[in-house]
Amino acid sequence: MTSSTETPSRRELNKAATRQSIVIAAMRLAHDRGLGGFTVEDVADAAGVSRRTFFNYFSSAEEAIAAPTFGFLDAALERFHDRPKGEPLLESVIQILLALADNKFIEPMAQSFLVSHGNDPATRYQLQAFDECSDKIVAAIREREGPSLDELYVHALAGSVMSCGKAALEVWLAERRGDLSPSSLDRLSELLVAAFAHLKSGFAAP
C-alpha cells in the first residue's frame, strides 16, 4: 500500500488504471448479463486488455467483481492509521466511516455486493474481503495500541466491526433490491453509520 506521503510512480498509476478498467468492465457485464453470463475473455475484451493481462490482476471474473469491496475496506483501514493514537477505537471507526460515507466511495462497493448476491463464488470473495480486513484491523490495532490490549477484545472488536458492516449491506439490499440511485446510496450510508452507533452504544435497545 502506498502511503499518503508518497507519490505513486507512473508504472504504479498505469497498473492501477488497468486494474480499474478490468473491474469496471466486469461490473458492467455483471449488471447487463448477470454473473455467469460472460467469460474472462469477455471482460478482457471489454477492458481492452489481453486475457493474460487479466490474469495478472485477478484469478476470475468473480474476484474482479469483489475488488471494490476490498478497495473500500482498504481505504478505511488506511485512514485508521491516521487517526489520533489516544482516540477510543470505536470512535476511530465511526469517524472513518463518516469520512467515507459518500456516494462516490460507497457506490462501487454497493454495486459489487448487489451483483454478487446469490452467486456462490463471488460471495466467497466478498466474505474473504471482510475476513482479510478483520485480520488487518487486528494488526492495525496492535500497531497503534501496542500489545497491552486483551487478545480476545481485539479480535472481538475487529469481528464486530466487520459484522456491522455486512449487516448494513444486507439490510440495504433487502430494502432497496437493485436500486443504486443517490437516495438509495444515502440510505446505505445511514445504515452503516447506524450499525456502528449500535456497536458503540453496546447495542442498547433503540
pLDDT at 4: 45
Q: What is the mean pLDDT of residues 178-194?
A: 91
Q: Where are the alpha helices (DSSP H) in the chain?
A: 10-33, 40-47, 51-57, 61-80, 89-100, 103-116, 120-145, 151-176, 182-200
pLDDT of amino acid 50: 97
Per the prediction, the chain carries an average pLDDT of 88
Q: What is the percent of the chain with per-residue pLDDT over 90, rounded to a whole number?
A: 36
The pLDDT score that the predictor gives to residue 10 is: 86
Q: How far apart are the first and last CA of the chain?
A: 39
pLDDT in tens, 39-69: 999 999 999 999 999 999 999 999 999 899 8
In terms of pTM, does the model score above 0.85? Answer: no
Residue 25 has pLDDT above 70, yes or no: yes
- Place 6 in a pLDDT band, splitting at 50, 70 and 90: low
What whole-number distance in Å separates Cα of residue 98 and Cα of residue 32? 32
Q: Is residue 3's pLDDT more than 60?
A: no
What would the pLDDT profile of 69-123 be if each residue is shown by its tens digit? 888 888 888 888 888 888 888 888 778 877 887 888 899 999 999 888 888 888 8
Give the residue-averaged pLDDT of 156-168.
90
**pLDDT-based confidence at residue 29 (cuts at 50, 70, 90):** very high
